[in-house]
Structures are given as structure tokens and as C-alpha cells.
Amino acid sequence: MSEEEFTNWSMGILLTGLIIFMGFIIWDLGKKSGAGKTGMIALFVVLGFGVMGFVFKNILVEFLVMK
């Protein structure tokens, strides 16, 4: 396994773990703050947009680099 392959695998695995952990943090924040159902949905939507933007940026860059 080359260094590039290792980097690609580890980044994919570790970033997935980080995104899952950030989801847990958002859930815990909503639980501890006493946010209701609407508040929890708002937290996941608003804070989840940052994560989705990061993922979308990486996908977009990969498609642009491939051309």
C-alpha cells in the first residue's frame, strides 16, 4: 500500500468518524440545553449545513480535478 492510498483510506475513515462524532455533539448540545423537538431539528439542520458544505466542497473539487 502506497502512502497516497493510505492517506485516501485514512482520511475517508477518520473524516466519517469525525462527522458522526459531530452529530453526537449536536444531539448532546440539544439534549443538555433542553431544546424540544423543533429546537433539535433546527440544531441539526443549521449545524449540519456546515458539515454538508464541507462534504459537497470535497465532491465538487474531485469532479473538477478529474476534468
Note the Cα 52 to chain centre separation in Å: 6
Alpha helices in 2-36 (DSSP H): 3-33
Q: Domain spans of the chain? A: 3-66
pLDDT confidence of residue 19: 86
pLDDT confidence of residue 67: 65
Residues 6+ apart with CB under 8 A from 47: 22, 26
- Interatomic CA distance for residues 37 and 47, integer angstroms: 15
pLDDT confidence of residue 62: 82
7-64 residue pLDDT tens: 888 888 998 898 899 889 989 988 998 888 999 999 889 888 888 888 888 888 888 8
pLDDT confidence of residue 57: 87
Would you say the pTM of this structure is higher than 0.75?
no
